[in-house]
Structures are given as C-alpha cells and as structure tokens.
C-alpha cells in the first residue's frame, strides 16, 4: 500500500508538470452554447427523461424549481458580514436551472426570466471582490446564462451582460489572491474566471486567453488537495463545493476547446469519486469529519467521473438516493442531465471494493461490510493534523455503525458566519488559537484521547502506519505520537473490527516524564448508563451495546456532564460523551483496550477507584 501511495504521488506530480505546460488551441473554440454542451447534447438531454426514471425525477425537479423562480424577484446585492456568497449561489442556481429549462422545453418564459435575473445582477455595483468566492460563483452564473441563452438574448441585453462579466468578474481578478491558494478558493475562482472568459471570448480574445492561461497555471495547486490517492482534506460537504467546480472547469474545457488540459490524467483526482462514496455510510449518514454535514444527497458532478471512466458504479449510490428523494437543491443539478445524457444507467452495479485507505495530509481508513443494506457495518478512522484547512482536533477519531445504528458519532461543521460575528478567531489554527475554543472543533467532542486536558499539537501529522483487511479482521494503526508529543512518550492507536464486526480500540501508551491523566472519549447519541467500573451500557433505537474497558492502569468509567455551550455555539441535540479516565505513572507503559459489542459478557472486573472530581455519574 505504501508503494502504491508513492507511485500515485509521483504520477500526480508528473501530471502537474504536464498540466501547467498544456497549450490550449483556441482555433478549436466551438460556437455557443459551448460551456458543458457539445454537439448533440441538447437533443440527448431532451430524450434522457423518457429513457431513465431517475433522470425524469431530476428533470422534473429542475422544471418545478424553475417555475417557482419565475414568480420571485431577482436577487439583490445583500451581504452577510463580509460575504455575498449566498446571493451568488442563488444566482447560479436560478440562471443554470432556467437556462436548462429553456433549452429542454423551448418555453420562452424561462429564458425571459433568466434574462431579467442577469440584467439585475449586471446593475450591482460589484460582485464583492473582497471575498472573491462570491465573484467566482457569480461569474460562472452569468457565463452559463450568456452562453446557453446566446441565441435567445437580444443584442442589447447580451452586451450589458457580457460587459458585466468582463468588468465585474474577469477584471476583478487582477488583484485577487486565489491564484496562489491551495484551498477551495482555487477551483471555485479559477472555474468562474475560465467560464467568464470562454463565454465572452469574442469580446476580448487576447485578454481572455491570457486570463485562462493564468488560471490554468494555478489549477495544479487546487489538485494538490487530492494527493496522493484521492481523499479530500476538508470533508464531504466541501468536496461537493471544491470538486464540483473542478469538474465544471474541466468539463467546460472539454466542450469548448476539446481538451481536458491534462486534468483527467491526474490519478488522485480521478480516484476521488470513489473516495467520496466511502464517506456515505450504510445508514445514509455522512462520515462528517472536519467541517462537514451529516445528511447525504446525490452529487451531480460524480456523473462526470462515471462518464469519463466508463464506470457507472461510481454513481450507484446516487441513483439510489435519487429514487429515495435525496436530492438537495444543488445549484449544479443541471450538470447531472448533461453528464448522464451520454450514459446507460439502466444496469448500474454497486462498487466491488469494501475498503478505502489513503495517506497524505489526511490519512484515512474506511471499511464497510457491504453496499446494499442499511444494517451493514461501517468503520472509519483518520489521522492527520488539526491545522489542515477546516481541520478539527480529531486525529485518531473514529465513526462506527453496527446493525443500522451509528454508535460513535462526529459532530461535524459549525456555521462560520455565527462564529465570525461573535469575534471567534476561528481561522487562527495555532494551538492557542480561538478556533479550538469552539466545542465542535476541539478534542473534547471527538472520539479520541486527551492528556491532562491539553489540546492536541496542531502541526504534526498522525500517520496510518498499518492496515489489515482479511475476511475476519479489518482496521488500521494510527501513530498518534506526533499529536501528543510533549504529553506522552509514545501513543499508537489500533482501531479494528473482530470477526463479528464488533469494535476494538487499543491504545498502546508510553507515558511521559510526569504522571498523566488520560481521557478516552467517545461521542454518541445513545442513552448511556455505567453498569460497572469498566462497562458503559448504550441503548439506541431499541438496541443495546456495551462499551467495555480492559487495562492494568488505574481507571474508571465516565459519562461527562453536558457541555456548557457558549452563547454563540450551536447546540448538539441528544449528545452524550462517554469513556474512561486513567491515571498513569511517569514512564508507565500500558495498553488500553476498549470494546464496543452487543455482548454484555461477564460482570465487570474490579478496578481501582480514582477521584475524578466529575460529580455524580447518573444515567443520561
């Protein structure tokens, strides 16, 4: 596996070199509509709902939403704090939906309403370049409308909209910093600028070509997010945002210029659709590490990967979610109709592999016992570091589902604007930064360890050093020694499933030079009751599991009191934090073995008592 990761990283670096030097032949620039659409695609989109039940569901959703948009006023330039991103996203959704509706029905009402929206946006004083994500999404919105409705738009309106794209979109990028960014701003803003330049190329060819070249030189920085094997540093929710715009970018290059500019040869990027499938657990909940939401919905842009690789198993989960009505109001939803129109989705099969492992900045191991049943077992464990973009202090944390219940949970994201308005320094990722004062971001809320109540180290990466996948044994070893350097001499965590798919977490700890209090924490939505000094009974959805500790160290079971939320913090409904507290002598070496199973077994063993100062441990 290590050799494979090294090979994939080398291959990715080779592609970066090829990509940045890629020449684009503008003599191949197609006529309007040129963004996403090739010759014959409109006809194929029109025919798709008749031959695909899932496509009909999506088409009907887009048309229904377009009807709703006809009856509302255009967006207004309203900022929330420093952001106008909500306006830009709504504009992209409206214009994309309406343009699709017009092309597939010939109903002029949709084109007229899109024109009205674009003319209103053209009158904005600017598109908020101080937060350039807003400009990126707005420029894409206007470019799609300009391009897809080119033959409908009156010359005067086309001139106003094209000028707005040039002045408020493209020119605004001249002082932007996203070109050097290695975060989600890179794909979103580059895609927006490339869309604007491709759509309006005839208005200022030299400028548009130069800007596209500048963007293409920047694109490899965004692709670094996927190295070495396709996992995504900032989680499922932002994957939909960043990867969505990366896909929109490459798909527009393919349709307008007949090239993917080397992006489709980036091995890690091309594996990322497989990765994101593994973050959707059997219960339908997301593995919501970092700033991610828990609710799942189909992803339109995954269909590009399926089309590109001719592997429809990549969208098997999405086809299932469409049938279940799990379609969010994605502003990129019409892209589904574009990408799916050239595929046969009548016999889609679920993926064959049941395990995922990747290294890099966010080492991760995921196992699922199957793809078909909500009762399939699911285990995910990660390494990494807290200072990664949108990172949490969650190295060594795990999520576990058994028998249709998520027993070990992750709390996921917290609204950014709320924290910024409260003055929380949430972008200060240093160990003493304000970000870690937020409960959802710090170690207290995650399924990991704490030493003497201290925060994790933030710059050091906890690597996965070993994985095991046999018919009776699945799991990984995470070296947490860097995460707890200065707090312990060595910490290695093994997270695995036994032959019955029960969870076993073993922490091999070598204490530091001073006595240490270790907290083994797990967040759960189950009812919890301590029934022995080393056993906690968990009950959820009519099912019972037992969290059991085995160790020679002085220890006790704990149900922590409810977190005292700050006024600005989001409350976590039905949350309980359970685990064990251990006292280690200076230099002591100890194995801390915790199992979570449906077997109560023998009466809890007798363990030495320690005074934890935590108050009463009642049923919660």
Q: Domain containing 237 — which CATH number?
A: 1.50.10.100
CB contact at 8 A, 382 and 461: no
Regarding whether 396 and 317 lie in a shared domain, the answer is no
Sheet holding 398-402, edge to edge: 355-358, 364-368, 378-382, 398-402, 405-408
Regarding whether 327 and 434 lie in a shared domain, the answer is no
Q: Is residue 130 part of a domain?
A: yes
Give me the CATH number covering residue 429: 2.70.98.70
- What pLDDT, on a 0 to 100 scale, did the predictor assign at position 339? 98
Regarding whether 251 and 157 lie in a shared domain, the answer is yes
Regarding whether 387 and 331 lie in a shared domain, the answer is no
d(CA 168, CA 173): 9
- What pLDDT, on a 0 to 100 scale, did the predictor assign at position 19? 54
Distances (CA, A) of 446 to 79, 439, 588: 34, 9, 25
Regarding whether 182 and 75 lie in a shared domain, the answer is yes
Q: Is residue 614 part of a domain?
A: no
DSSP class of residue 573?
T
Regarding whether 301 and 260 lie in a shared domain, the answer is yes
Regarding whether 185 and 51 lie in a shared domain, the answer is yes
Q: Report the DSSP beta bridge partners of residue 511.
A: 488
Regarding whether 365 and 329 lie in a shared domain, the answer is no
CB contact at 8 A, 417 and 212: no
DSSP string spanning 146-158? HHHTTTTS-HHHH
Using 50 as the pLDDT threshold, list the residues of the chain that sit under it. 1-18, 20-21, 603-620
- What pLDDT, on a 0 to 100 scale, did the predictor assign at position 22? 54
Nearest CA to 332 among 226, 253, 240?
240
**Which contiguous run of DSSP H or E holds residue 205?**
helix 205-223
- For the chain, how many structural domains are there in total? 2
Regarding whether 541 and 517 lie in a shared domain, the answer is yes
Regarding whether 369 and 322 lie in a shared domain, the answer is no
Q: Is residue 84 part of a domain?
A: yes
Regarding whether 448 and 318 lie in a shared domain, the answer is no
**Backbone angles phi and psi of 87, in degrees to 5:** -70, -45
Identify the domain boundary among 282, 309, 340: 340
Using only C-alpha atoms, the chain has a radius of gyration, in whole angstroms, of 26
d(CA 200, CA 43): 24
CA geometry: angle 432, 436, 441, nearest 5 deg: 155
- Token code pair at residue 475: 């799991």
d(CA 364, CA 350): 22
- Token code pair at residue 184: 């989600």
SS3 annotation, 218-257: HHHHHHHHHCCCCCCCCHHHHHHHHHHHHHHHHHHHHHHH
- What pLDDT, on a 0 to 100 scale, did the predictor assign at position 471? 82
Total-model pTM = 0.91
Q: Is residue 558 part of a domain?
A: yes
d(CA 318, CA 324): 10
Regarding whether 498 and 447 lie in a shared domain, the answer is yes
Q: Is residue 432 part of a domain?
A: yes
Q: Is residue 297 part of a domain?
A: yes
CB contact at 8 A, 46 and 104: yes
**Dihedral sign of CA atoms 100, 101, 104, 108 in order:** negative
Full residue range of the structural domain in which residue 242 is found: 2-19+35-340
Distances (CA, A) of 35 to 43, 386, 472: 16, 38, 50
d(CA 253, CA 202): 16
């Amino acid at each position: 596996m290590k050799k494979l990761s090294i090979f994939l990283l080398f291959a990715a670096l080779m592609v970066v070199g090829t990509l940045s030097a890629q020449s684009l032949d503008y003599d191949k620039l197609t006529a309007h509509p040129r963004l996403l659409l090739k010759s014959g695609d409109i006809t194929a989109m029109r025919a798709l709902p008749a031959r695909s039940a899932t496509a009909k569901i999506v088409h009907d959703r887009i048309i229904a939403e377009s009807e709703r948009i006809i009856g509302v006023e255009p967006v207004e330039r309203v900022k929330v704090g420093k952001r106008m991103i909500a306006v830009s996203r709504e504009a992209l959704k409206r214009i994309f939906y309406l343009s699709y509706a017009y092309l597939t029905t010939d109903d002029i009402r949709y084109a007229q309403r899109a024109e009205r929206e674009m003319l209103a946006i053209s009158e904005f004083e600017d598109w908020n370049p101080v937060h350039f994500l807003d400009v990126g999404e707005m420029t894409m919105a206007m470019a799609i409308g300009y391009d897809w409705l080119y033959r409908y738009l009156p010359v005067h309106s086309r001139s106003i909209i094209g000028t707005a794209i040039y002045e408020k979109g493209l020119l605004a990028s001249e002082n932007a910093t996203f070109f050097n960014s290695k975060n989600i701003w890179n794909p979103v803003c580059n895609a927006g600028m490339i869309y604007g330049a491709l759509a309006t190329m005839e208005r200022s060819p030299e400028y548009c070509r130069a800007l596209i070249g500048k963007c293409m030189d920047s694109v490899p920085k965004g692709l670094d997010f996927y190295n070495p094997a396709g996992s995504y540093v900032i989680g499922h929710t932002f994957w939909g945002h960043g990867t969505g715009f990366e896909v929109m970018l490459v798909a527009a290059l393919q349709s307008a210029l007949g090239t993917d500019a080397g992006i489709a040869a980036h091995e890690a990027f091309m594996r990322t659709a497989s990765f994101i499938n593994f973050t959707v657990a059997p219960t339908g909940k997301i593995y919501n590490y970092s700033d991610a939401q828990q609710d799942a919905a189909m992803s339109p842009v995954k269909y590009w990967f399926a089309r590109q690789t001719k592997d429809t198993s990549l969208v098997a989960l999405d086809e299932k979610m469409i049938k279940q009505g799990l379609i969010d109001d994605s502003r990129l939803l019409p892209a589904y109709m574009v990408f799916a129109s050239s595929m046969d989705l009548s016999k889609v099969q679920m993926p064959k592999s049941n395990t995922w492992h990747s290294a890099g900045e966010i080492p991760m191991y995921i196992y699922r016992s199957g793809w078909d049943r909500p009762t399939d077992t699911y285990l995910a464990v990660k390494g990494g570091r807290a200072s990664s973009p949108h990172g949490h202090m969650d190295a060594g944390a795990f999520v576990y589902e058994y028998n249709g219940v998520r027993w070990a949970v992750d709390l996921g994201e917290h609204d950014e604007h709320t924290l910024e308005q409260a003055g929380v320094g949430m972008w200060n990722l240093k160990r003493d930064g304000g970000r870690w004062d937020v409960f959802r971001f710090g170690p207290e809320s995650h399924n990991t360890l704490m030493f003497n109540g201290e925060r994790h180290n933030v710059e050091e990466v906890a690597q996965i050093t070993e994985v095991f996948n046999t018919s009776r044994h699945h799991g990984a070893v995470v070296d947490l020694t860097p995460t707890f350097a200065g707090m312990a001499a060595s910490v290695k965590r093994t997270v695995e499933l036994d032959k019955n798919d029960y969870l076993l977490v073993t922490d091999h700890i070598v204490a530091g030079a001073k006595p240490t209090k270790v907290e083994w924490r797990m967040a759960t939505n189950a009812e919890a009751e301590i029934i022995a000094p080393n056993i906690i009974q968990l009950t959820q959805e009519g099912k019972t599991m037992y969290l059991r500790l085995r160790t020679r160290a002085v220890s006790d079971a704990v149900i922590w009191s409810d977190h005292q939320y700050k006024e600005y913090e989001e409350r976590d409904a039905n949350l309980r934090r359970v685990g064990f507290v251990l006292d280690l002598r200076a230099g002591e070496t100890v194995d801390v073995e915790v199992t979570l199973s449906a077997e109560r077994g023998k009466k809890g063993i007798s363990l030495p008592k320690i005074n934890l100062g935590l108050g009463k441990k009642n049923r919660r």
